[in-house]
Amino acid sequence: MNSTSDHRAGEPIAVTFSVNDRSYSPPARPIVVICVDGCGDEYLSTSLAHGRMPHLAAVIANGYRGMVRAALPSFTNVNNASITTGMPPVGTGFGGNFFIEPETGEEVMMNSSKYLRCGTILAAAAKVGRKVAMVTAKNKLLEILSHDLEGIAFSSEFANQAQKSTHGIENVEALVGLPTPSIYTGDASLFVLTAGSKLIEHNLADFLYLSLTDYMQHKFAPHTTESLDFYEGIDTQIGNMLKLGAVIGITADHGMNAKDKPDGSPNVIYLESLLDEEFGKGNDVICPITDPYVVHHASLGSEVMVYLKDPSQTAEIADWIFQLDGITEVMDRPTAVKKMELPGDRIGDLIVMSARDVVIGRNPEYHDLSLIKGGLRSHGGRYEEMVPMVITKPLTDEYMAKAAKDPRNFDIFEFVCNGTHNR
Amino acid sequence: MNSTSDHRAGEPIAVTFSVNDRSYSPPARPIVVICVDGCGDEYLSTSLAHGRMPHLAAVIANGYRGMVRAALPSFTNVNNASITTGMPPVGTGFGGNFFIEPETGEEVMMNSSKYLRCGTILAAAAKVGRKVAMVTAKNKLLEILSHDLEGIAFSSEFANQAQKSTHGIENVEALVGLPTPSIYTGDASLFVLTAGSKLIEHNLADFLYLSLTDYMQHKFAPHTTESLDFYEGIDTQIGNMLKLGAVIGITADHGMNAKDKPDGSPNVIYLESLLDEEFGKGNDVICPITDPYVVHHASLGSEVMVYLKDPSQTAEIADWIFQLDGITEVMDRPTAVKKMELPGDRIGDLIVMSARDVVIGRNPEYHDLSLIKGGLRSHGGRYEEMVPMVITKPLTDEYMAKAAKDPRNFDIFEFVCNGTHNR
């Protein structure tokens, strides 16, 4: 058997499959969806302007670059769950990283696949014979989204712990040619992309989801040298995957904005403290950005939920919160379910969002501001909702028309699988 | 006297002046602020990706490109008033194109400088000896903003009517080398930019405000040939002004989104009709996008005001409107004054905004949909609030820090005058 026939034997198969009421017909070539965590569109514009993303520049001249609307609240788990399922949060069950379990009254971190309420596109693709790989930077995402996936799934965070039996792969460091990175680095993301490239090159995967981490975006604005270097690294790996014949879709889970006062200190509304003062103790503020990676943001984001002591005060407290400077939107639970497509049993009595430069916290004791002494950049609200979508091949007329309406970031697998010319 | 000394005699003077509590220190070179009407950031990204804006690409590699927050509602008069004064709407008095005069109950189109509540940066610059020129596409803007301006002020719409005594210039067509364009063309905007370039070249102006029209953006999405050609034309004129030594700031009054249903018909909520049905007649919906240029949008935008028959129903009707599909925000007057920085006596009892792909109308009879049979693209709401800001010179550290917070489009004169290196 020569290498040509070997390659043919390993070529991706073109099959159609359906999941969550959508049909996907990926072409017979490597398919890659990249979620660049925290990639506000300015990161692409600035890195392109400085000539640091030549491969991206070449593909968007012929393919597509536009804006899509993420799921709200604009957090990582919420949007990764939506992107990998094609469903809004009401379908995935992920309306934040944290909620209060109605039965127990306990705060729960949703860090397991048991909280996911629908199947993933990745699992469905594997079932029809695509060689699926999911590589994430943060291990938490892997635990949520790799359920039922017959394929490869590992995180760069714990790359050196991947086992064939549990992760579908082993000796990841040797494959990638890099050591397991610290999660608090840009390398945690570049490892993911390099791994994707190596998996395609070695014919181990032809249907990939690569989800990065926003450590760099939390710490560095688009014009900084650190950010430009990081995006150049991303571009190099995009180039490698393009050389291997991949069609790539790139989007983000959320954008990122500076949330500082003019003096550089974080611009925080400590909502639970204010509610304690005004209405007495017992109204609980939950910060759904909270996750194990607190160095990023000290659990300070631009959306929180309030669980009220006395539901009869809902309208009164909602109105009172809305009058606070820096608060931009307040919705009660039924309204949030309707307007934000959130799962009603996993959210608080009130959903509260803040301005472009404002975050909402619980109380001063709850947040360790020393973690963000270089300045706070964060997300979660309406001002981090719009994110880029890049498709490296030209879209068909049908999908150009869809892209020109109000596409979502969780449509990206459909765009990449069904929407391109030159398949 | 030779040409060199001639040129020296005509060089811009470097003076500092103050207006509306800000100080401006423009460098001794031509200063140009361009408001590209309706220029959502995607227009720049797409035109750059297709290689159609080489001059812009060259300057943003060294200068600055980022995002700024426009004034809400995201309409033309509102933002042109803010940009030329450095003030939010509460300071300018412009919270829309239309309002109901409290004394008379009459609907008033704010098409005159008598509605402007503060002085302009342009008039202030002229008073200290800068050679100021304001060129707009739409004549309506000229009438509002050229008050008290000792300099040149004309519109491309009526370029051939400009007189020395009233406009500070005559024979404009000969100067520009182009005939007066129709307002419903891209040429209406390109004429403005060409005029700017010629005014600098002939030493007639050294402090310019050039405000385009969004006819093209209303009619064409960023990826269309028509739009790409138009932006190439813009770029050519930017190049000409750069060659003449100008430092240029570019921003927009608002973005632009498609507002169609999947079948291509406009996605309209006829709010006054719905209020008539639910609450009886007498609650008036005002569409503040309404202006003489209805071909653009048939008076359909993503923000309206409601004047209530019975103010005691404010909370009830606000809640009812907020529950309508496609409505994203409803504020009563005091809240809108506070959150949107609007002038309380020029707005309705309720301010209502709609989703990325939704517009709000009065009733079916009021809007002539035949004007927008090619598809509706419009603006006015939160989804058209974020706009680009480009500065063609590198920013100082101080202004890079400002740009990284929550800058506004109406900060642009300050950025151009005070914020650049290599002055």
Same domain, A162 and A227: yes
Q: B378 pairs with which residues across the strands?
A: B257
Q: What is the CATH number of the domain that holds A128?
A: 3.40.720.10
Nearest CA in chain B to A329: B329
Residue B153, H or E segment: strand B152-155
Residue A310 lies in a domain: yes
Distance of alpha carbon A108 from alpha carbon B273, whole angstroms: 46
Q: Structural domain of residue A369, as residue ranges?
A: 268-378
Distance of alpha carbon A81 from alpha carbon A78, whole angstroms: 5
- Residues of chain B found within 8 Å of residue A48, distances taken between Cβ atoms: 48-49
Token pair of A168, please?
């579908």
* Interchain contact A226–B (C-beta under 8 A): no
Q: Kindly give the interhelix angle for B41-49 and B225-243, rounded to the nearest 10 degrees.
A: 90
Residue A216, H or E segment: helix A215-219
**Amino acid type, A375:** G
* Interchain contact A421–B (C-beta under 8 A): no
* pLDDT of amino acid B106: 87
Same domain, A391 and A322: no
Distance of alpha carbon A119 from alpha carbon A140, whole angstroms: 17
- Smallest CA-to-CA distance from B167 within B141, B200, B133 is with B133
A223 to B64: CB separation less than 8 angstroms, yes or no? yes
Q: Which of A49, A325, A382 sits opposite B61 (nearest CB)?
A: A49
Q: Read off the pLDDT of residues A362-408 as tens digits, 9 standing for 90 and up.
A: 999 999 888 888 899 999 999 999 999 999 999 999 999 999 999 99
pLDDT classification of A4: cutoffs 50, 70, 90:
very low
Q: What is the CATH number of the domain that holds B287?
A: 3.30.1360.110
* pLDDT of amino acid B10: 61
- Smallest CA-to-CA distance from B285 within B361, B364, B382, B346 is with B361
**Amino acid type, B315:** A
B357 to A406: CB separation less than 8 angstroms, yes or no? yes
- Smallest CA-to-CA distance from A177 within A194, A161, A157, A163 is with A194
- Residues of chain B found within 8 Å of residue A57, distances taken between Cβ atoms: 49
* pLDDT of amino acid A1: 29
Within 10 A of B112 (CB to CB), how many other CB atoms are there?
12
Do B407 and B387 touch, CB atoms closer than 8 A? no
Same domain, B75 and B188: yes
* pLDDT of amino acid A296: 76
Within 10 A of B212 (CB to CB), how many other CB atoms are there?
29
Do B153 and B146 touch, CB atoms closer than 8 A? yes
Same domain, B216 and B322: no
Same domain, B174 and B47: yes
Q: Read off the pLDDT of residues A160-209 as tens digits, 9 standing for 90 and up.
A: 999 999 999 999 999 999 999 999 999 999 999 999 999 999 999 999 99
Same domain, A125 and A143: yes
Give the Cα-Cα-Cα angle B355, B251, B154 (nearest 5 degrees). Answer: 110
Distance of alpha carbon B341 from alpha carbon B89, whole angstroms: 6
Residue A8 lies in a domain: no
Token pair of A83, please?
């992107």
B51 to A61: CB separation less than 8 angstroms, yes or no? yes
* pLDDT of amino acid A99: 85
Distance of alpha carbon A2 from alpha carbon B99, whole angstroms: 78
- Residues of chain B found within 8 Å of residue A406, distances taken between Cβ atoms: 257-258, 355-357
Q: For chain A, what is the domain count?
A: 2
- Residues of chain B found within 8 Å of residue A42, distances taken between Cβ atoms: 66-67
Token pair of A349, please?
């009595």
Residue A407 lies in a domain: yes
**Mean predicted confidence (pLDDT) in A328-345:** 97
* pLDDT of amino acid B423: 55
Same domain, B72 and B101: yes
Residues of chain B with pLDDT under 50: 1-8
Residue A355 gets which letter from DSSP?
-
Do B354 and B383 touch, CB atoms closer than 8 A? no
Residue A288 lies in a domain: yes
Residue A3 lies in a domain: no
Nearest CA in chain A to B389: A42
Nearest CA in chain B to A40: B67
**Could you give the maximum distance between any two Cα atoms of chain B, in Å?**
78
Distance of alpha carbon A336 from alpha carbon A355, whole angstroms: 18
**Mean predicted confidence (pLDDT) in A225-234:** 98
Same domain, B212 and B130: yes
* pLDDT of amino acid A297: 79
Within 10 A of A72 (CB to CB), how many other CB atoms are there?
26
Interface test with A, best of B65, B68, B260, B302 (most A CBs within 10 A): B65
Distance of alpha carbon B258 from alpha carbon A275, whole angstroms: 40
Same domain, B224 and B89: yes
Distance of alpha carbon B258 from alpha carbon A212, whole angstroms: 31
Give the Cα-Cα-Cα angle B186, B166, B32 (nearest 5 degrees). Answer: 50
Residues 398-417 of B with CB under 8 A from A: 400, 404-406
- Smallest CA-to-CA distance from A288 within A137, A102, A144, A95 is with A95
Same domain, A273 and A395: no
* Interchain contact B281–A (C-beta under 8 A): no
**Could you give the maximum distance between any two Cα atoms of chain A, in Å?**
78
Residue B11 lies in a domain: no
Residue B289 lies in a domain: yes
A355 to B406: CB separation less than 8 angstroms, yes or no? yes
Same domain, B404 and B327: no
Q: What is the DSSP string of A278-334?
A: HH-S-PEEE-TT--S-GGGTTT-BSEEEEE-S-GGGHHHHHHHHHTSTTEEEEEEHH
Do A51 and A280 touch, CB atoms closer than 8 A? no
**Mean predicted confidence (pLDDT) in A59-74:** 96
Same domain, A297 and A329: yes
Nearest CA in chain B to A341: B325
Residue A192 lies in a domain: yes
A67 to B42: CB separation less than 8 angstroms, yes or no? yes
Q: Strand order in A207-211's β-sheet?
A: A64-69, A386-391, A247-251, A31-35, A207-211, A132-136, A152-155
